């Protein structure tokens, strides 16, 4: 497979005022693009998810036997989950070791899928005839290090703001210092607020990696610049998207409950069926959030273009 290094500056899509949309249109256009190339998006999401779920089932069953069902759903595929698992290592060392191995695999898979979906959406947005799943996957392989780099930096930033409050809380609990515990809640609230604000401002970073071929730090700086003055616009779109994705995920998950009931109480069968249901829900919903980032990037980039050309 040949890794595509992406377009040069001159090859980037030209300015298009139709890319500027309202916060509700960010979501409506996301679902329009999702439906337009639904099979391609499902194909991109399904292959790595299936591999990941198989690894989860096999490894967890080997380590935990009939107790493996309790761990299904706890193993994420993002850098933040990985880092939080490291912090929680004391509570269950065996789960820590197993989950870290699976999480590293999941991070790589997640980066490839995220990049491929964003690439396909960027190609297809404004050009319905364009966009190919195989080419998008190849392209994502070529940017995987940068995508993971962005995830790592953002995760460390979020943890850095939350860690002081969590540390104060733990120390307060250990020393029975109720004043410190009270202040720790304020510190945690402040950390979560600042962290969420930054996550909104940096949300388009992955799309920048795909569209502009910058370094991880360069992509974060570019995303932060693009979102200047657009925080509430992005927040409103993100909030509406979360509601929409939650509804789709709910429908996809609970529509498959009869499949789980077919397990007949057998632990291994229930483990497999539960994994299949979770995988199906993720395959259906995962591309939506990444398509949203492509639509958001186009929107922010065009807004910046219009501002810089006003004189």
Does residue 8 form part of some domain? no
Does residue 3 form part of some domain? no
Does residue 140 form part of some domain? yes
Does residue 4 form part of some domain? no
- The two most distant CA atoms of the chain are separated, in Å, by 70
**CA 114, 201, 209 angle in degrees (round to 5)?**
35
pLDDT tens-digit readout, 228-241: 999 999 999 999 99
Q: Comparing 61-65, 151-155, 300-304, which segment has the lowest mean pLDDT?
A: 61-65
pTM of this structure: 0.77
Residue 212, domain extent: 23-308
pLDDT tens-digit readout, 29-62: 999 999 999 999 999 988 776 776 676 666 666 6
Span 10-33, average pLDDT: 80
Total domain count, the chain: 1
Closest CA to 116 of 282, 276, 3: 3
Q: Are 172 and 181 in contact (CB under 8 A)?
A: yes
Task: Spell 114-132 as b/e; 16+ CB within 10 A means b.
Answer: bbbbbbbbbbbbeeeeebe
Does residue 106 form part of some domain? yes
pLDDT of residue 104: 74
Does residue 1 form part of some domain? no
Does residue 241 form part of some domain? yes
Statement: residue 248 has pLDDT above 50: yes
3-state secondary structure string across 119-157: HHHHHHCCCCCCCCHHHHHHHHHHCHHHHHHHHHHHHHH
Does residue 17 form part of some domain? no
The Cα-based distances of 259 to 34, 117, 206, 299 in angstroms read 26, 29, 36, 41
Q: Are 291 and 131 in contact (CB under 8 A)?
A: no
């Amino acid at each position: 497979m040949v890794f595509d290094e992406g377009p040069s500056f001159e090859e980037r899509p030209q300015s298009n005022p139709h890319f500027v949309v309202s916060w509700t249109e960010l979501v409506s256009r996301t679902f329009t693009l999702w439906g337009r190339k639904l099979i391609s998006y499902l194909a991109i999401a399904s292959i790595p998810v299936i591999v990941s779920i198989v690894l989860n089932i096999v490894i967890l069953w080997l380590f935990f036997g009939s107790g493996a069902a309790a761990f299904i759903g706890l193993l994420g595929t993002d850098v933040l989950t990985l880092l939080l698992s490291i912090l929680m290592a004391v509570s269950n060392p065996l789960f820590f070791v197993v989950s870290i191995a699976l999480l590293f695999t999941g991070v790589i898979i997640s980066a490839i899928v995220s990049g491929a979906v964003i690439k396909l959406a960027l190609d297809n947005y404004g050009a319905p005839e364009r966009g190919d799943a195989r080419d998008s996957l190849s392209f994502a392989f070529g940017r995987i290090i940068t995508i993971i780099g962005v995830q790592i930096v953002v995760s460390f930033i979020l943890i850095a703001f939350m860690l002081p409050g969590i540390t104060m809380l733990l120390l307060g609990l250990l020393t029975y210092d109720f004043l410190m515990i009270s202040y720790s809640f304020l510190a945690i609230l402040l950390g979560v607020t600042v962290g969420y604000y930054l996550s909104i401002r940096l949300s388009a970073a992955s799309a920048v990696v795909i569209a502009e071929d910058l370094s991880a730090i360069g992509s974060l700086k570019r995303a932060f610049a693009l979102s200047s003055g657009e925080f509430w616009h992005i927040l409103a779109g993100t909030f509406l998207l979360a509601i929409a994705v939650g509804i789709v995920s709910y429908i996809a998950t609970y529509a498959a409950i009869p499949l789980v009931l077919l397990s007949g109480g057998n632990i291994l069968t229930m483990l497999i069926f539960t994994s299949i249901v979770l995988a199906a829900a993720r395959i259906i919903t995962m591309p939506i959030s990444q398509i949203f980032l492509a639509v958001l990037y186009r929107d922010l980039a065009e807004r910046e273009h219009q501002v810089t050309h006003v004189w």
